[in-house]
Amino acid sequence: MQAQTPCYKQINNIILVASGKGGVGKSTTAVNLALALSQPSGENPGAKVGLLDADVYGPSLPLMMGMQGQRPTSLDGKVMEPLSKYGIKVNSIGFLINPEDAAVWRGPMASSALSQLIGETNWGELDYLIVDMPPGTGDIQLTISQKFPCTGAVVVTTPQNIALADAEKGVAMFGKVNIPVLGIVENMSHFQCSKCGSVEHIFGKDGAVAMAKDHGTELLGQIPLQQINRENSDNGTPTVTTDGPMADIYRDIAKKLIEQLVLTQQNNAASSGPEISFIDD
């Protein structure tokens, strides 16, 4: 019998979006990043993108993408067909189970469910699969990082010390499993009053700037705390599907991410040593 090719074999880049702790805006970033990568800009036709919500303990993709109540189908009873919205392919643990049931899952059960979601969804050919990881650095995160050919990780944090300390653990974990950290996103960087315009650094100032510098990693961007961002997520119309300065910040982060990806690939090629070629003269 011919062995079946795993569904992720046609994915060029699996990118993990992670955070040390919950509530820092990891899912919001993952959703907007996936959509930004898929959008055409200038000469760039836009990439083929998949988005997997692997946040078993708090799947938010169905709400943020306006897809509640939908469910992936299967043509052969084995492999799931991903759903599609705003031009990207999506799957979420939230489409398949009641989130309250997942909340009591032990680590191995959650790891196995996530492995199925990545490996048994018919993603087809993708330039990028963005994986919204569960928060933290435990067994589930390690299993996913080691089991799949992950290209790199993006770590999301707020500038607050308590979030940064956990984000550092995330960076260390990816180091241990040899997944390059492509950059850090600082979310909720500051708040600007819509009435008087004054800027307040509610969670501290530039914490991720210092962290990126310490780890020799790129700061991909700083996203302000904005009511419209929260409203867009709650309404199922992610900020990047609209126009405005907030959408541009996410697009800029996506651009920087691609730059880091290219740099990492070039460094890997250079460190794998020179190739010997034979030239007839």
Q: In DSSP terms, which residues pair with 181 in a beta bridge?
A: 153
User: How does DSSP classify residue 277?
Assistant: -
Site map 158..197 versus ligand ADP, x via CB under 6 A: -----------------------------xx---------
Question: Does residue 145 interact with ligand ADP by CB under 6 A?
Answer: no
Exactly one of 8, 13, 26, 184 binds ligand ADP (CB under 6 A); that residue is 26
- Min dist. Cβ of residue 201 to ligand ADP (A): 14
The whole-angstrom separation of Cα 18 and Cα 261 is 16
Exactly one of 25, 59, 159, 170 binds ligand ADP (CB under 6 A); that residue is 25
The whole-angstrom separation of Cα 114 and Cα 133 is 10
- Min dist. Cβ of residue 187 to ligand ADP (A): 5
> With respect to ligand ADP, which residue has the nearer C-beta, 129 or 188?
188
Exactly one of 34, 211, 225, 249 binds ligand ADP (CB under 6 A); that residue is 225
Q: Which residues, 6 or more positions from 15, have their beta carbon under 8 angstroms from its beta carbon?
A: 128, 129, 130, 131, 150, 151, 152, 153, 154, 182, 257, 261
The whole-angstrom separation of Cα 185 and Cα 222 is 6
The pairs formed by 275-280 with CB atoms below 8 angstroms and a separation of 24 or more are none
Q: Could you tell me if 205 and 190 are in contact, meaning their C-beta atoms sit under 8 angstroms apart? A: yes
- Min dist. Cβ of residue 1 to ligand ADP (A): 41
Question: Does residue 60 interact with ligand ADP by CB under 6 A?
Answer: yes
- Min dist. Cβ of residue 36 to ligand ADP (A): 14
Binding site for ligand ADP (CB under 6 A): 19, 22-28, 58, 60, 187-188, 223, 225-226, 229-230, 233
